[in-house]
Structure 1
């Protein structure tokens, strides 16, 4: 399949990217922050977050404008050997046009957001937004969606974005992929975590309850634990991203 033909098909099925305004509010972090007391709430300023995770089609446009980030061109300092591992012939599969892009590193995700004039969301911003359930649903229903995703057999091809929408109007923070955040290693450690007496070593042990605000929140344990184990150049099959901004930035339709 020639790339030129592929691009024509790709554009015809693309979604229009929008940003959703997330209102300011108070949020209680799942884990105790170094400078905060257990159970203390923090203030989140209003910001904008992408309505959907970044899709394969959108990322392909980034690669055309920034060839140094193409598969096979990126330094191993910025992406491991799995980078864009599900792309054939340097382009994504046509059936995945509106699926979230995955197999991307923190460095490439950060570069994409900067190219758009945006940034990666802070961990606190992402979690604050993700803590809001679907309209008319309870947080227990939201937890069921998350735990159901953990337990289900993952598809070979991810579905198109737009599967799960919370009451802020943000799609697919749950039940689709993991997502990079700017300070993903905010809870990371050095050395062997089994020997360190710090956050990650306590995360899945009995001592974890000393730093968690909700002992029963298994989903958050999984997210924080996963992020704590990442390095910026890592890529994974179900790891993607979305962008944030302090101001509303509307993408021009392609």
Structure 2
């Protein structure tokens, strides 16, 4: 039997108009004005409104607005603070001994940088990792992840300074040279939060059954760890704390979309708890 001829039918929504085709869902005749393009064929307006929304390819991509905004803020602050850099660093840089009485330093220090190479390197990594993670996590979870990496980095800096002041860590050969941190030194930079993004990327890969050490992310982590331990003047505690904080946050955040908001709230809450605990260390 041949396919039904719609030339003698009228549109069931507009009986005064001839039907040009049939709805691919309910198979009722429809005119051209009532034909809505669907993933397969055309649907009438009633079926299209009740079915799954048709999404364009561009709708599937989440623009990394949070990471791009963070890069912009960091760049602007770097330019604005060059006129009186010593005063700004002394007021907003992370000084472990002052973390308990001036807690804003735990956060503001992550938005300040020492020189052009410092801000360019962190900004580039933040931009690239944001392009990788934010479309997957969404804006809310990515923001919570960044806060968790920042908190982990601050805890690492203050924690090593506390160990240096409370134990003979500084007197131990090699370990003291690598890990000892002055309680009165100033630490700045977004490296802790950026390391947190790398840690979360590794957690996400492991959750999907991928060995992160065999990927570009694993190579990036190894390279940055080598730089951390070999070059002087780099915050070992900030980098390791951020990496660990991001990995733990990634384990919480890479869940199905139905729990995305609750995972973001739990992660942000954990980051706040870490910041409060860091204040109490000194």
TM-score, normalised on structure 2? 0.24
More strand by share: 1
More helix by share: 2
